[in-house]
Structure 1
């Protein structure tokens, strides 16, 4: 089971996080109670997201509350309470409500007490209203999204977490060797090595097929890019090279054709997923080459967005890729990999010089954005840096789903 990356969720559904979180919660709620045909809901339903359902004689509903990174649970306590009152007012026979939230509770600092004050007060209000709250916090959502029956929900909202459903024959055969062979360790090593080589070759062939399917039909190509997350469970630097080379040489070179912002988000997510795909002294040379490909991909996105399409959202993803590689380079113990941070600075210098064009009077905001991201390189967070209200407005014009 892998941890959910809410930063990627925030970027992917920028401006639409609440609606996306509601859709995800709806899918998980239907899955939990086997509602394959969905649940009836009114437009702008008050309180709960759909009509309650009958579960063994009890009426059960759900609600989804997405809290943005800067918002605390305690500051939204009254909204939860108001929502409960509205819910019960409209649904007096409701017995239980599932509350899906994207943040965990902070444990109380009071000795001998687990629940924080705001949680206690929300639950006390629910008790007064004679309705039970069943909290669905990130640790529970992670487990539900790891369930193979929810793979389509995972694919839509957290494609980087997709894992293959079928267990590899390797696991079964190794278990058999372990139980029946004294030379298990040697057999395990030999078989594992052979399996990895064969599996890597097979995955490379599958990636090559996907390359041939790539086109300017962006609806299809976005789904095609989503498929690349499937291989993350078996990733190594060789598989990463095939994917990162595809992103660099093929996908990012379409940025000047004004491709959708969603494509840049997918490129960004894939790079974070596949770089690095090894650690320590293993495959350092190839890991460095993969890092260089990521940096050049970031340049393609930023350069084309500034010079050709004026899509500052895509430029932000390109510059954020640079920050990610810069951060990984600084964390590395390898002298070779630390050179990647120098390459990032060289690329910044090249981009800055490129934007000094006397014949262009429309690059002022581009230069400002580059300066802001460059000054933010040393901060650990991968969130986009704070920018002026005017610059934020320019970038916001190109929200995700721009191809629809």
Structure 2
């Protein structure tokens, strides 16, 4: 479920009272299924002229209170509406703050007055907005007024469309990854293990085994990029974590701390309500000196409250592995394994709809792969 941040609402909408009135107008218009409502927020009693819908006449009032409910304002508006519009059946009262309606004698009094005139008052507070704005059809309002889903702009830019298509297609061959004699045969299993393995975990592999591509795949899973837009927004909101992918080779030009800050600043990512899962690709692609400095910062980063996990990739035989020994536990070291023939066989059959593979070509595939790994 998407949680609404009302403090953020006020930050994003400088004239938040007007913004709240507009939000309520949209919700009311969608309820009565019309886009032709003309609002006059200065008129007495209601925000618009009443609207007939399914045999009843509806009107609405929106009240933005800070910090607490002002029932006198509502009472004044309701009294005016009941006098001005005797044909009303329902008045929807939108309000933003948390309020114990059952403890308010004014609320009970207004309900009774309205009831005597055949009018029902519907009190729609924060619980209503949580429910209404979590519906797919209202996600645009959730984005517009509460900034929900802005993280998705960052997610979309991290991996280019061509690579994204490849990673979600049948052409992507799932790698075999092992950790402490436990074999993981798909990326989803790997992600679960990585997140439960400790603060810092590492993915190792020989050259050309697909470490960087695997980190891209992990990023897509963590960011929900394989989901549709609505499900992705909900997943990020529920998981309360945002993945950040950085290629460590850029640490040759500036520090990792600066790279992270640049990412957060460029995309205006909100980390007040989210933790971060850092994906750092290619510790083997920097000099020993930079690797030492980078790992020193990563150790400090792991201690920060906002850090959920840190996942690194490095070549198995890289000398920079020496900087991992004191911070990565054995059960947090994941090694990319050789592809087995069954998986390759199945891959080619599924991809090219081949019933029988030429064994000589399969042998050649593994031979060439072995020669490449020795480089």
TM-score for the superposition, normalised by structure 1: 0.45
Structure 1 or 2: more strand by fraction: 2
Tell me the TM-score normalised to structure 2 length.
0.48
Whose radius of gyration is greater, 1 or 2? 2
> Is the helix fraction higher in 1 or 2?
1
Larger RCO of the pair (alpha carbons < 8 Å, separation 6+): 2
